[in-house]
Structure 1
């Protein structure tokens, strides 16, 4: 028992370990003092292009029949869009799904039909054609329009202006805070930015209703290019 008590007592009398203070780690004797702010800049632009998502949704008794009917319908839709001068590179399949639809009969689940959904994304670089793309696509067999995105083809100039405004906004906020507490800005510790996404207009249409009505008017209006910057300023 003496052999057990000896080490236990020695451990109890051993001095507690010491750890260096965080501020002294890696040679930093004093912590840096900072002010963190978020600045934002916005530039309003007139969109010059749009992205529209057209879909074919149909049901057939068998999976093969649904696939074949969907392929035939979408082929007609794409052909109608191409006739408007939309280039092949601006038409892309975004999703295709095929699955069973069930019914309950006599407490038994049975397959009633198979549903196929085929969605294509169309980039329209001439906004005057946007209404025609919608109308002709629906007339050719599209049964849904999932949404329209308006944007500018070249965002670089607008983003540069918005970025400059965001940085100025962040600096002005930091200087106001620094002056208020009697310090001055000495540098920048870190900076990051985020760019807003284009405005998405969700629209759902019934194919027959759109096809039978007059030409669908779609107005782009204007959209905002917004940039936010998060800046941590050094103060002293």
Structure 2
């Protein structure tokens, strides 16, 4: 009788030994072998009082010639700019937005030349926004649009919202961990899911001004009272997703 003895390669024996010891496998999520992944989504928001206003003011008039219409328009827009500067509006915050001269071929102004000049005005003190609109109107502006109330630094408000979002995510993760009789080991990833960062403009108290450009009649009583503007609050809302690693207590 012949007896055959087969010996397994030493390498195979070592492989079995490593497997028996629980060799780790690479996890692309960054988890260790004794950790559990928990993904949490959360939102955060903050309400901030606007600290800046922006509106448009302009002159629209008609005359028998393009030259006359343009000259009259320029004179009146200079008066508007002067009134704004006297109120403390810097020249850098006054910008020409549109200029035009065209012949009118219809309506009661048919045959005349209509000139338009629109400027954009930034008021860096929101409490002066109403006074600025009123000053422009009293100086002769018969086209008014706005004001839009906004944040000079929307990122600052958004950062506060992000901090609130992470705090909410952490609290939610701790609740999950407690329910599972586990604990948070570490934070794996934090992902920004975007949101609205302080760009929700609050309309002015006057509903007509909020709807777009309004052309006023020449009568003084046709101009609305814009001396009191309600600033309200501008909202920043953001969302994040956080991956936590949980371990046994």
**Pairing partner for 1:53 from 30, 41, 56:** 56
Are 2:198 and 1:196 aligned? yes
Shift of residue 163, structure 1, vs aligned partner: 1.9
What is the TM-score with the length of structure 2 in the denominator? 0.61
Choose which of 66, 89, 96 in structure 2 pairs with 1:93: 96
Secondary structure class of the residue paired with 2:128: helix
Give the aligned length.
202
State the alpha-carbon separation in 1 of the partners of residues 174 and 220 from structure 2.
56
Contact 2:38 2:173 in 1 (8 A): no
User: Do the aligned residues in 1 keep the contact of 2:52 with 2:151 (CA within 8 Å)?
Assistant: yes
> SS where residue 81 of structure 1 aligns?
helix
1:76-96 per-residue CA deviation (whole Å, 9 max, x = no partner) reads 111111122222122122222
Aligned to 2:15: none
How far is the alpha carbon of 1:72 from its aligned partner? 1.7
Separation in 2, partners of 1:175, 1:99: 68
> By how many angstroms is 1:34 displaced?
8.9
Q: Which has the larger radius of gyration?
A: 2
User: For each residue in 1:183-220, what CA deviation from the matched residue of structure 2 results, as whole angstroms up to 9, or x when unmatched?
Assistant: 99963274243313141421636254556779533233
Measure the CA separation in 2 of the matches of 1:212 and 1:205: 10
Contact 2:126 2:231 in 1 (8 A): no
RMSD: 3.9
Alignment of 1:16-27 (within 5 A): none
Tell me the distance in 1 between the aligned counterparts of 2:121 and 2:157.
Answer: 24
1:103-182 aligned at under 5 Å gives the runs 103=106, 112-155=111-154, 157-170=156-169
**SS of residue paired to 2:105:** strand
